């Protein structure tokens, strides 16, 4: 027996690994099973690639057994195994990875065709979180002697000759008090199903099961062995080998959804980056989609081994409704795969996945209007969030989002809107700030209806934020002689802004303007600083008044949103511009009136009703009622 000291300042490093590196103690089993899978992969490759290994009897498997009484867990494989030198190098040196060395030895070609997992060589030591002592007994393939490595995870380890009937490795954990809970059939099965269910090799669990007689009495124990992992990864299979029902069944099993998904997107990327993705779009939006603490629906695997389902960086926030799997072949991870590094590979996988998803959504919108309507009814709002946060994909997102309209039923796109525009129309118009019914009844639309100009009805709060930021819509119109796409652009204008009536408003008659000026001045005097200005309207037809915001001022709805978000500091007071319909009887009735109280009451009522019809709250409803009653009497 040889007692050896760990290389490196192991006391400090092991303490760090055991107490600080891992947040979930249960991952020790994932790490040891992953190592066993690596060992099986190595031998599987050699039995094909090297003649001396071809005669080996090799039926790869991983076996786990446990004892609640002795507080032990044993994990065995019949993989490539290790000799005394390998044990000293792989387990005696912290952060040396046998897998990494093996990959280097195989060369670049072999790297492309294996399923090896380990990269950093410290995952094994996570077992010391739950074990007070570990024994590793191993026999290398084609060698006769077996060796045992023993350590308590402190400063020393021992290596001595041992007995093992076949090649492979057995890891026996002597559990500490905190780790004793893992010596349980239920715990082991659940951990394997969560983390290692898709490992390519069969994992068997041996356990004692009570045997009962006809009277319900225990007559003894029966030793049973059952396979506890699936061993298949649907996302790694070629698409031509899968049927629609295969995808649906997998989604229902993993997504805990009784309904079939609306859409699935299966991708295999090869080349500089190798990864598989299988994404699902649920028919109904996740219940927590608008919660700040929503749960990510995408799971990350590395070579079929589960890493995390709690990383909100795998996809951007606005795609939080997506469910599915990303499985990377070569994603660099931090020590023991527990903590993802912020690295270029992960960013590239994320960006490519986003483009693929958006492209599939666009294809759906073009191929099935009915199915896309199902999709957009659930996910229109988060896609609009993408317009605010994902500038790199603005073009495709503007094609995906939908709006209600003053002219057509249901929802419509920017593209469909411009296809219906008259030849004289220069801008895309929209109205926002309330519910659909209120917006469609707004006096602001009167002139647009009279001119047969369509207005997009934006009845979601987020529209107030994203549409002004978007500013314009750009559509591909063709290809020039150099093969470059040509575009046409339209400015997106709110009808609730002061300058939006230039295209649709009639030219104001000078005589009418002169006639109305005294009334406008008297209304402006009566309202004082409650308004920014009072103007003669070119957009009103039936209503006596309406309010609009100045070009550079935030709308009332925007200010209310900012207040609701707690941003009350330095917020400007909303002062609308009041537009007056000079042809309306109420306004005309003020001509020549000298009673200041009647002018003030009428002015206040004109302002208040303009606010009400836009769905805004009055600061003093009682005052409005009193003034209205005085006018009526």
pLDDT recorded at residue 555: 73
Task: Tell me the average pLDDT across 76-90.
Answer: 94
pLDDT recorded at residue 132: 95
CA–CA separation, 82 vs 211, rounded Å? 39
CA–CA separation, 610 vs 545, rounded Å? 6
> What is the CATH classification number for the domain harbouring 582?
1.20.120.790
Same domain, 344 and 460: no
The angle subtended at Cα 415 by Cα 402 and Cα 378, nearest 5°, is 15
Same domain, 219 and 245: no
For residue 260, name the pLDDT band (cuts at 50, 70, 90): very high
Within 13 A of 483's CA, how many CA atoms are on the CB side? 0
Domain contains 379:
no
More confident residue, 558 or 47: 47
Q: Of 98, 122, 90, 133, which Cα lies nearest the Cα of 21?
A: 122
Domain contains 469:
yes
- Strand bridging mode 263-269 / 203-212: unpaired
For residue 336, name the pLDDT band (cuts at 50, 70, 90): very low
CA–CA separation, 499 vs 466, rounded Å? 20
Q: Are 456 and 418 in contact (CB under 8 A)?
A: no
pLDDT by residue (tens digit) across 453-498? 999 999 998 998 899 889 999 988 888 888 888 889 999 999 988 8
Judge whether residue 374 has pLDDT over 80: yes
pLDDT recorded at residue 165: 94
Domain contains 91:
yes
**How many Å is the maximal CA-CA distance in the chain?**
116
Q: Of 334, 348, 343, which Cα lies nearest the Cα of 277?
A: 348
Same domain, 14 and 161: yes
Q: Are 56 and 81 in contact (CB under 8 A)?
A: no
More confident residue, 354 or 593: 354
How would DSSP label each residue in 83-111?
Answer: -HHHHHHHHSBTT--HHHHHHHHH-HHHH
pLDDT recorded at residue 90: 84
Same domain, 110 and 201: yes
Same domain, 51 and 145: yes
**CB-count burial class (<10 Å; 0-12, 13-18, 19+) for 478:** exposed
pLDDT by residue (tens digit) across 489-535? 999 999 988 877 776 756 666 666 788 899 999 999 999 999 999 99
- In angstroms, the first-to-last Cα distance of the chain is 110
Same domain, 439 and 497: yes
Task: Tell me the average pLDDT across 621-631.
Answer: 93
Same domain, 543 and 622: yes
Domain contains 393:
no
Please identify, among 484, 501, 518, the residue that sits at the C-terminal boundary of a domain: 501
Task: Tell me the average pLDDT across 368-393.
Answer: 95
More confident residue, 563 or 593: 593
pLDDT by residue (tens digit) across 535-563? 998 889 999 999 998 887 777 777 666 66
Rounded mean pLDDT of the chain?
A: 87
| 25 backbone dihedrals φ, ψ, rounded to 5° | -65, -30
pLDDT recorded at residue 382: 96
Q: Among residues of the chain, what percentage have pLDDT more than 90? A: 56
Output DSSP code: residue 406: S
| Lookup: tokens for 506 | 């009639």
Residues contacting 63, CB < 8 A, separation 6+:
74, 75, 76, 77, 203, 204, 205, 206, 225
> What is the CATH classification number for the domain harbouring 299?
3.30.230.80
Angle between helices 596-613 and 621-632 (to 10 degrees): 120
Segments in 551-595 forming alpha helices (H): 556-564, 585-588
CA–CA separation, 618 vs 612, rounded Å? 7
For residue 49, name the pLDDT band (cuts at 50, 70, 90): confident
| 621 backbone dihedrals φ, ψ, rounded to 5° | -60, -35
| 56 backbone dihedrals φ, ψ, rounded to 5° | -65, 140
pLDDT by residue (tens digit) across 91-129? 876 655 566 665 566 565 555 555 555 544 567 888 998
Domain contains 301:
yes
How would DSSP label each residue in 19-58?
Answer: III-S-TTHHHHHHHHHHHHHHHHHHHHHHH-GGGTTS--
Domain contains 179:
yes
CA–CA separation, 181 vs 318, rounded Å? 40
CA–CA separation, 579 vs 496, rounded Å? 11
Domain around 137: 2-227
pLDDT recorded at residue 417: 96
Judge whether residue 347 has pLDDT over 70: yes
pLDDT recorded at residue 493: 92
Domain contains 459:
yes
Judge whether residue 256 has pLDDT over 80: no
Judge whether residue 606 has pLDDT over 50: yes
> What is the CATH classification number for the domain harbouring 471?
3.40.50.11260
Same domain, 493 and 557: no
Q: What H or E segment, with its residue span, contains residue 192?
A: helix 185-195
Judge whether residue 247 has pLDDT over 90: yes
Cα 337 from chain centroid (whole Å): 21
Q: Are 35 and 50 in contact (CB under 8 A)?
A: no
> What is the CATH classification number for the domain harbouring 96?
3.30.565.10
| Lookup: tokens for 472 | 């314009």
- Strand bridging mode 427-432 / 72-77: unpaired
Same domain, 30 and 132: yes
Q: Among residues of the chain, what percentage have pLDDT more than 70? A: 87
Same domain, 354 and 489: no
**CB-count burial class (<10 Å; 0-12, 13-18, 19+) for 469:** exposed
Same domain, 172 and 187: yes
Most confident of 217-221, 257-261, 398-402: 398-402
CA–CA separation, 631 vs 633, rounded Å? 5
CA–CA separation, 320 vs 309, rounded Å? 12
- Strand bridging mode 485-494 / 427-432: parallel
| Lookup: tokens for 110 | 């072999």
Q: Are 515 and 578 in contact (CB under 8 A)?
A: no
Radius of gyration from C-alpha coordinates of the chain: 35
Looking at the structure of the chain, the number of domains it has is 4
- Strand bridging mode 275-281 / 323-328: antiparallel
pLDDT recorded at residue 335: 39
Please identify, among 207, 227, 247, the residue that sits at the C-terminal boundary of a domain: 227
Domain contains 72:
yes
Please identify, among 501, 529, 560, the residue that sits at the C-terminal boundary of a domain: 501
Same domain, 527 and 487: no
In total, the chain counts a number of residues equal to 633
For residue 352, name the pLDDT band (cuts at 50, 70, 90): very high
Query: For the chain, percent helix, then strand, then coil, each to nearest 5?
Result: 40, 25, 35
């Amino acid at each position: 027996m040889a007692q050896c000291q760990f290389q490196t300042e192991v006391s400090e490093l092991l303490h760090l690994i055991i107490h600080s590196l891992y947040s979930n103690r249960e991952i020790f089993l994932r790490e040891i099973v992953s190592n066993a899978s690596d060992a099986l992969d190595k031998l599987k490759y050699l039995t094909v690639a090297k003649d001396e290994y071809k005669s080996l009897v090799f039926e790869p498997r991983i076996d786990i057994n446990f004892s609640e009484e002795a507080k032990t867990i044993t994990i065995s494989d019949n993989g490539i195994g290790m000799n005394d030198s390998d044990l000293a190098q792989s387990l005696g040196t912290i952060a040396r990875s046998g897998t990494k060395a093996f990959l280097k030895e195989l060369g670049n070609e072999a790297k492309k065709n294996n399923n090896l997992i380990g990269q950093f060589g410290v995952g094994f030591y996570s077992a010391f979180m739950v074990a007070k002592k570990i024994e590793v007994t191993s026999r290398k393939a084609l060698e006769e002697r077996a060796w045992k490595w023993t350590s308590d995870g402190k400063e020393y380890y021992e290596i001595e000759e041992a007995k093992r009937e076949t090649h492979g490795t057995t890891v026996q954990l002597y559990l500490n008090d905190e780790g004793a809970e893992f010596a349980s059939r239920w715990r082991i099965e659940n951990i394997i199903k969560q983390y290692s269910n898709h490992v390519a090799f069969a994992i068997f669990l041996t356990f004692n099961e009570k045997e009962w007689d006809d009277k319900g009495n225990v007559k003894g124990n029966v030793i049973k062995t059952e396979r506890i992992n699936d061993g298949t990864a649907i996302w790694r299979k070629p698409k031509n080998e899968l049927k629609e029902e295969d995808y649906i069944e997998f989604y229902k099993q993993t997504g805990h959804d009784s309904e079939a998904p609306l859409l699935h997107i299966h991708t295999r990327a090869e080349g500089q980056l190798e990864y598989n993705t299988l994404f699902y779009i649920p028919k109904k939006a996740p219940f927590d989609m608008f919660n700040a603490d929503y749960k990510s629906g995408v799971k990350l695997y590395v070579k079929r081994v589960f890493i995390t389902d709690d990383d909100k960086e795998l996809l951007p926030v606005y795609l939080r409704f997506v469910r599915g799997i990303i499985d990377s072949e070569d994603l660099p991870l931090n020590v023991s795969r527990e903590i993802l590094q912020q690295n270029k590979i992960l960013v590239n996988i994320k960006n490519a996945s986003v483009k693929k998803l958006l492209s599939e959504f666009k294809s759906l919108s073009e191929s099935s209007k009915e199915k896309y309507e199902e999709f957009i009814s659930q996910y229109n709002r988060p896609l609009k969030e993408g317009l605010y946060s994902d500038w790199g994909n603005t073009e495709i997102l503007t094609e995906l989002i939908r709006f209600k309209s003053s002219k057509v039923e249901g929802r419509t796109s920017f593209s469909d809107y411009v296809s219906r525009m008259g030849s004289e129309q220069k801008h895309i118009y929209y109205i926002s700030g309330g519910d659909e019914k209120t917006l469609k009844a707004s006096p602001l639309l009167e002139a647009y209806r009279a001119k047969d100009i369509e207005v997009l009805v934006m009845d979601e709060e987020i529209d107030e934020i994203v549409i002004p930021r978007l500013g314009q819509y750009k559509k591909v119109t063709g290809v020039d002689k150099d093969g470059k796409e040509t575009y046409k652009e339209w400015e997106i204008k709110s009808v609730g802004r002061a300058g939006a009536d230039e295209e649709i408003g009639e030219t104001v008659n000078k005589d009418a303007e002169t006639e109305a000026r005294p009334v406008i001045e008297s209304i402006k005097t009566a309202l004082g600083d409650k308004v920014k200005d009072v103007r003669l309207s070119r957009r009103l037809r039936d209503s006596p008044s309406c309010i609009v915001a100045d070009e550079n001022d935030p709308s009332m709805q925007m200010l209310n949103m900012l207040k609701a978000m707690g941003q009350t500091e330095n917020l400007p007071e909303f002062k609308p511009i009041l537009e007056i319909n000079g042809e309306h009887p109420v306004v005309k009735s003020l001509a020549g009136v000298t009673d200041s109280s009647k002018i003030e009451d009428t002015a206040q009522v004109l302002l208040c009703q303009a606010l009400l019809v836009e769905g805004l709250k009055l600061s003093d409803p009682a005052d409005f009622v009193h003034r209205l009653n005085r006018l009526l009497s």
